[in-house]
Structure 1
Amino acid sequence: MNNNKVYLGDCIEIMKGLPNNSIDLVFADPPFNIGLKYDNYNDKRSYNDYYEWSEQWIKETHRILKNNGSIYIAIGDEFAAEVKIILQKAGFYFRNWIVWYYTFGQNQRKKFNRSHTHILYFTKDKEKFIFNGDEIRIPSARQMLYNDKRAHPKGKIPDDIWEYSRVCGTFKERLGDHPCQMPESLLERIIKTSSNIGDIVLDPFGGTGTTAFVAKKLKRNYITMDISKKYYDVIEKRLKGQTEEIKRNSNHTHREINRNLTLFEFENV
């Protein structure tokens, strides 16, 4: 198995080639099956087809994760409950149902505005898993407001509501026109929490390469992949520090990116 590797192809087939119990952490942000535009993927499968496909790739993540490994899956409202069930059937143990509340949400026409994504956090073993709480502590109200000496001096472990801005088209972090680029700060929290330096972090849906990029920055090894040659190239360039080239080669201006149908502007009427 080659670490620090970007693969081009179907994630299920690629993961089948990885050894059992070889990965420390999986972060997955799969297509949500809500009709977003990808260059070579159908994001509007039938319910049964999408369910069976989710079972297949989640089953592979369970096989390749080490016994003390963890998995985080970002998923939308439409299929979050099903993914939780699939994870449990695959043999994972539930830890948290995290809600990522993002600023710069999107307007809806016939329902309340959407401003969140679900992140399901599971472990392969019920008792033995990596959780580096001290790496992610934040100031607590007990410290900040009340100056309570009983508070932990390093702050508290974050709640299960995480507030991070989405990566808007005008943001410096934005790379090209991928419909669901993840914020680096969110991945940094996950990777610091559930892996150690030198561990292997895998992302089966590489996208713009945020997981691999942050893993590398935090001195972890990475394995990632994407079915799209376009985004495979984006990931490779990003990992080489060629972000300005990615932006120059994009066919979209920031204004056009803002008009694109993305995960965060999608309106399910």
Structure 2
Amino acid sequence: MLSSVLHHGDCLKVLPTLPDGSVDLVVTSPPYNLGINYRSFDDTAGRAEFIEWCKSWAAEVKRVLADDGSFFLNVGAAPANPLMPHQIVLAFTEGPDALFVLQNTFHWIKSITVETRRGEQISAGHFKPINSQRFVNDCHEYIFHLTKSGDVKLDRRGAGVPYQDKSNIARWGHTGGVDKRCRGNTWFIPYDTIVSRDKERPHPASFPIALVEQCIRLHGKGTESRVLDPFLGIGSSAIAAKRQGVKEFTGIEMDDYYLSVARERLDAPAEQELF
């Protein structure tokens, strides 16, 4: 059974209270500084101020993360601010005071159109349309996999997919006869279809539960994982930890309403889970 602690407060005040090396896996999505209308956070800071704020909480994430831990950072962009994800990850990984090594970069695909071998085009997923003569619809976000050393071992096939061409299972020796391969760095994870955002997803920038589940499987510690989300929002990462049967989960959220929704979701039986 999941042991969870959900803290109400600013992560810069709560994170220093957590012990060194007490977390195996951090999965989070901080504010993107894109002017999103959060209830209790001003998402309109100056660029330099925002980057310094990110470095402050990231330094605490590094302290509480185990040496073989993984930090999965979800960051999106906007046409008016296209470099922000890259500036954040550069601030974390460059210079003499670098906090992390960028070990992998994943692309979270929200919507995609693919052509089958028969020439049929299939569209799947959801995106927010952009009405512009200059920019195309933005159908993806980044998941930066950050570690302390850059050589943290992952369970690639734990988060893998079956082979499409089954003949590859026998032809390639590294398969060991197992019908599962590394998924790669493109993850198609659509949002669930909803009717009312206010009732079914009452947060302006949440990520799907399945995205966090993928990170937990890939990191590979299974039920022994100790997971942290310092920007809990409405608790999708907590639900993912519950579904994956992990050992411990810690969440931090400064907004009392979002936190109340997270607690309600986490306390609900599996068959009654909310969105």
Q: Which TM-score band applies after superposition, normalised by the shorter structure?
A: 0.7 to 0.9
Describe the superposition over 1:144-187 as per-residue Cα deviations: whole angstroms up to 9, x where unpaired: xx566225322211111111112443399x83421122212211
Match of 2:223 among 174, 185, 197: 197
TM score, norm. by length of structure 1? 0.82
Q: Percent identity at matched positions? A: 24
CA distance in 1, matches of 2:21, 2:154: 18
Counterpart of 2:10 in structure 1 is 10
Trace 1:20-99 onto structure 2 (pairs within 5 A): 20-77=20-77, 78=81, 79-89=84-94, 90-99=98-107
Counterpart of 1:133 in structure 2 is 156
Contact 1:74 1:118 survives alignment (8 Å): yes
Counterpart of 1:109 in structure 2 is 131
**Structure 1: runs of 5 or more not aligned:** 248-269
Q: Give 1:226's aligned amino acid.
A: E
In structure 2, relative to structure 1, the CA distance for the partners of 1:148 and 1:233 (3 Å cut) is closer
Counterpart of 2:268 in structure 1 is 241
* Secondary structure of residue in 1 paired with 2:170: coil
CA distance in 2, matches of 1:134, 1:109: 40
Contact 1:202 1:224 survives alignment (8 Å): yes
- Provide the aligned length of Structure 1 versus Structure 2: 241
Structure 1 runs, 4 residues or longer, greater than 3 Å off: 242-247
**Structure 2: runs of 5 or more not aligned:** 112-125
The structural deviation recorded for 1:41 is 0.8
Match of 2:143 among 119, 123, 131: 119
For the pair 1:224 / 2:251, whether they are aligned, the reply is yes
Q: Give 1:71's aligned amino acid.
A: F
CA distance in 1, matches of 2:209, 2:41: 24
Match of 1:175 among 200, 212, 216: 200
The structural deviation recorded for 1:229 is 0.1
CA distance in 2, matches of 1:80, 1:86: 10
CA distance in 1, matches of 2:274, 2:243: 19
User: Which is worse superposed, 86-95 or 103-112?
Assistant: 86-95
